[in-house]
Each structure stands twice: as C-alpha cells, then as structure tokens.
Amino acid sequence: MRQPHIKICGLTSLEAVEAVLARGGPEVGFVHFAKSPRHLSLDRMAALRAAVGSRAGVAVVTVDPDDDLLDALVATVRPDTIQLHGHETTDRVRDVAARTGLAVMKAVSIRTHDDLAAIPAYSAVADRLLLDAKAPEGADLPGGNGQTFDWSLLSGFSPDTPYMLSGGLTADNVGQAMARLHPYGLDVSSGVESSPGVKDIGRIDAFFDAVAAAPQPERSSPAR
C-alpha cells in the first residue's frame, strides 16, 4: 500500500524542516507572500532550500507572481515546484511552466459545487492541482486559513487525478479525509502549527502518525 504524498507547507525554520525530513516527508513548502505569517525572503528560502538538498522536493508558494519574481526564484531558490495560489489563468499557468522549466501546482479554491468547474481546464495545464478551501470573505490569505471545505463535493472525483487535498487538515481529521476521498496527496500548514506561522514539532509528528495509521488504498502516481 502506498501512503499519500505529504507536503508540509509554510515552513520557516531549519528545526521544522529537519523534523519533516526526519519523518521521511517527500516535499516541503516555503511561502513568498508578504501578507502571510509564513512569508520568507528569497535569501531565507534559499538557505533552507540548501539545507534540504536532495532529501525532499521543494515547492515555493506564490500569489500571482510576476516574471521578475519567477526569475529570481529560479536563480536564487531553485525550487522543484512553483505553486500558484492566486488568480492565475490557465494561460498564465502554461506561461509559468514554460518560463521557469519547473513543475507547476495550481491551487483551486473550493466552496460550492460550481467551483469544481475550473478543475478540468487547470488539470490540463498544471502538473498537479491543490484543492483548498476558499478563503473567507475579506481574508488576507488565499490559503492557510485552517478551514476545510465540504469534502462530499468531491464524491466521484477520480483518484487518478493528481491532486493535493488541502484546507484545515490536522492529525484529528486526516484519516477521515483519506477514507472519504483517497487523494493522491495531502498538503498541511496551519494544522501543524501552535500559532500562525509557527510550526509545532509534536503536531508534525502527530500528522505523520495519523496518516500512517489510516487505511491506505492503492494509489496511482500522477500521469504528468
């Protein structure tokens, strides 16, 4: 049986990075968005990225990045994946992939069934999708708000579609999410924090423990 791909996102300290890697985490995420409590400068991300080395994949979360930022990320941080968490169009997703030469993960915010309509188009141009809870009205952050969405909206969604489930995941509910949806991957940030932007090593361990303890049906790897 294959465990879901786990990405611990919004890491800001070497201690937290090492805690994820000690548990065999296959991917870590850093955020470059000034309004986020998890925001890191390019230099700080580069230092943490160097510490990761080849031990895990590295994703950088951006929100409507311009070309200058993309170029700086490629030159300074050298991530494996650019995560787009803004209002990027499908054409922009395609352009980001072509400009950077990196894998691109596009976040799709979900609140109602109507929000699922965007999935096929983005699935055609992104290497992975991240299905996240739509931010509350007036929120400063497009993600990382610690809220789940109605998982029943994804009933019948093909488990072969390469998507990461996000939004309010914790050690307490991740087993239920896996049983109901069987996602390819799990993306967690606020659910392993003691306060906004501060990762809790005990909660990181508890999340990995909960995933390992949950029933895990066979999963297919992403096609792209």
DSSP string of 28-54, one letter each residue = EEEE--TTSTTB--HHHHHHHHHHHTT
Query: Is residue 49 in a domain?
Result: yes
Higher per-residue confidence, 63 vs 183: 63
Calpha distance 181→178 (Å, rounded): 5
Given a contact cutoff of 8 angstroms between Cβ atoms, the answer to whether 186 and 169 are in contact is yes
The answer to whether residue 220 sits within a structural domain is no
- Is residue 219 in a domain? no
Q: What is the mean pLDDT of residues 109-130?
A: 91
> Whose CA is closest to 60, among 35, 40, 86?
40
What pLDDT, on a 0 to 100 scale, did the predictor assign at position 183? 87
CATH number of domain containing 64: 3.20.20.70
Closest CA to 122 of 93, 151, 162: 93
Q: What is the 8-class DSSP label of residue 112?
A: S
> Would you say residue 186 has pLDDT above 70?
yes
Rounded Cα gap, residues 89 and 64, in angstroms: 10
Tokens found for residue 194: 């003691």
Q: What is the pTM of this model?
A: 0.89
Distances (CA, A) of 165 to 48, 75, 162, 189: 25, 29, 10, 12
Domain annotation covers residue 32: yes
User: What pLDDT is attached to residue 77?
Assistant: 98
Give the 3-state secondary structure of residue 15.
helix
Residue 12 lies in a domain: yes
What pLDDT does 182 receive?
81
Residue 223 lies in a domain: no
3 band by pLDDT with thresholds 50, 70 and 90 = confident
**Is position 120 within any domain?**
yes
> Residue 221: is its pLDDT beyond 80?
no
- Give the domain range for residue 32: 5-213
Q: What is the DSSP string of 54-79?
A: TSSEEEEEESS--HHHHHHIIIII--
Q: Name which residue leads in pLDDT, 117 or 67.
A: 67
pLDDT band for position 160 (cuts 50, 70, 90): low
pLDDT of 224 > 60? The answer is no
* pLDDT computed for residue 159 by the predictor: 47
Question: What's the structural domain count of the chain?
Answer: 1
Give me the mean pLDDT over the 60-85 stretch: 97
